[in-house]
Amino acid sequence: MYQEKIKQVLLKEHKTEPTIIQKQTYDAIKNGASLIGLAKTGTGKTLAYALPSLERAEKGNANSVVILAPTTELAVQIRHAINPYLHALDLKGATLVGAGNRKRQEDNLKKKHPEVIVATPGRFFDFFSSGRIKIAQIKTMIIDEADDILEFAKLELLSALGQNLGSDSQILLFGATDSEITRDAEELFARNFLLVDVRNQQNSTTKHYFLQVDNQHKIEFLQRMTKLDHFKGILFFDSNETMMRFAGIFSHTKTKFEILANEFGKQRREKALNDLATGKTKLLLATDLAARGLDIPGVTYVINFDIPSEQNTYLHRAGRTGRMNATGYVVTLGDDHDFRDLKKLLADQLQIERVYFAGYHLTTSKPKKKERKKEAAAEVKQVVKKKQKKHKKRNKKNKGYHPHYLKVKK
């Protein structure tokens, strides 16, 4: 499995053992089959479709591998992930996204003739309709996050493109959940697909919790969560308006955070992601639209500010933590009514447990009333001490020694 040049890069990246989805799709993709690959988030889907596709690509055949991703951030992330393998195989790549400089992207297509293109649907069809990418050139078309891409691309355009690809081409659809595009793939693209669904074979290390809190105390609880051991988290909102309103209030606390919002420029969004990845901040505020498919190293907590409206939304958010078998926690905030709704939403998928604060970690054991009273009293005592210290400092400052007052004029 894999060419020697690919193996060398995998060894450098400490990826010595292929994941289940990588093992079960490799031969079929390498042999040119059209395929639907379904696997849980964070289980190596990018390399599952990319590595055999890159091995099939022929040097000098421009635009032969096209990878479509729903968002700019995900497209850039995919390009970063496959770059070492492109270099190893001496292939050229181009990233075509709406947030990037169109003229520069066009020059790359014109002068470099890249064999591999990673693009968002809008920018891809922009260049395709202007003749910069020709249908006869495409040998492998990959749709990543296929269950989400319908929100970002017209299905008719994708369907027409797929149906008009050459008979020697292949289409690969990869995602974490079923959707219209994966269920109706054969009808949409007028070809046979092999289905590889490994979701039931994959063990999850992510724990799913519910933390009871009313709207009035959510800010207080979130501040407390950021102080938990090994906390690095993404706080999800259903709408951009709610997120920005919350950010305005939360900015008055001492908790550092970044925001991932579509209206922000590319550089600011990249900075927000990089600051979380490198540990400069511990909390990122995001909506589903902005954070689809993102792989940020070391995210330990995903927090739902409100109950997600759809099961797939919850699963996608949950996929930002516990990646590649790391331990992760998904914590949803709400009241008793929300807890019932959440259990109903995820009844056939996951078990949700109530969770409580216990010092600098969370516990599923309900604290006894005495313990809760002690904890509350200790917290009040700490606040009082802090205030007393502040007063003492002020008093000292007022009575401080000022040498210039004692200077005698000569």
- Contact between 121 and 39 (Cβ < 8 Å): no
Tokens representing 355?
Answer: 């969770």
Give domain status of residue 410, yes or no: no
DSSP string, 123-177: HHHHHHHTTSS-GGG-SEEEETTTTTGGGTS-HHHHHHHHHTS-TT-EEEEEESS
Same domain for 237 and 189, yes or no, is no
Q: State the pLDDT at residue 410.
A: 39
65 membership: H or E segment, kind and range: strand 65-68
Print pLDDT tens along the chain (410 aa).
899 999 999 999 999 899 999 999 999 999 999 999 999 888 899 999 999 999 999 999 999 999 999 888 899 999 999 999 999 999 999 999 987 899 999 999 999 999 999 999 999 999 999 999 999 999 999 999 887 776 667 788 999 999 999 999 999 999 988 888 889 999 999 999 999 999 988 777 899 999 999 999 999 999 999 999 999 999 999 999 999 999 999 999 888 999 998 788 878 888 999 999 999 999 999 998 766 778 888 999 999 999 998 888 898 899 899 887 788 999 999 999 999 999 999 988 888 999 999 989 999 998 876 565 666 566 656 656 666 665 555 554 444 333 333 344 43
Give domain status of residue 373, yes or no: no
Same domain for 197 and 261, yes or no, is no
Same domain for 109 and 215, yes or no, is no
> Could you tell me what percentage of the chain is helix, strand and coil, using 3-state DSSP and rounding each to the nearest 5?
45, 15, 35
Q: State the pLDDT at residue 405.
A: 30
Q: Burial level of 339, CB count in 10 A (0-12/13-18/19+)?
A: middle
Give domain status of residue 36, yes or no: yes
Give domain status of residue 234, yes or no: yes
Pick from 153, 182, 201: which residue ends a domain? 201
- Number of domains into which the chain is organized: 2
Same domain for 311 and 192, yes or no, is no
Q: State the pLDDT at residue 54.
A: 98
DSSP string, 162-195: HHTS-TT-EEEEEESS--HHHHTHHHHHTS--EE
Same domain for 84 and 188, yes or no, is yes
Nearest Cα to Cα of residue 147 among 188, 122, 119, 175: 175
Give domain status of residue 408, yes or no: no
Give domain status of residue 52, yes or no: yes
Query: Which residue matches tokens 């014109």?
Result: 110
Same domain for 32 and 144, yes or no, is yes
Q: State the pLDDT at residue 375.
A: 62
Q: State the pLDDT at residue 406.
A: 35
Tokens representing 367?
Answer: 């604290």
Same domain for 124 and 78, yes or no, is yes
Tokens representing 64?
Answer: 């032969």
Q: State the pLDDT at residue 173.
A: 96
Same domain for 139 and 240, yes or no, is no
Question: Domain containing 59: what range?
Answer: 4-201
Domain of residue 260, CATH code: 3.40.50.300
Same domain for 168 and 51, yes or no, is yes
Same domain for 303 and 347, yes or no, is yes
Q: State the pLDDT at residue 402.
A: 37
Pick from 183, 201, 219: which residue ends a domain? 201
φ, ψ (nearest 5 deg) of residue 308: -60, 145
Distance (Å, rounded) from C-alpha 191 to C-alpha 164? Answer: 11
Same domain for 234 and 117, yes or no, is no
Distance (Å, rounded) from C-alpha 188 to C-alpha 193? Answer: 11
Rg of the chain over CA atoms, in angstroms?
26
Residue type for position 352? I
Nearest Cα to Cα of residue 140 among 202, 70, 73, 49: 49
The residues with which 96 forms a beta bridge, in sequence order, are: 119
Distance (Å, rounded) from C-alpha 124 to C-alpha 119? Answer: 6
Same domain for 356 and 244, yes or no, is yes
Give domain status of residue 254, yes or no: yes
Q: Burial level of 204, CB count in 10 A (0-12/13-18/19+)?
A: middle
Residue type for position 139? K
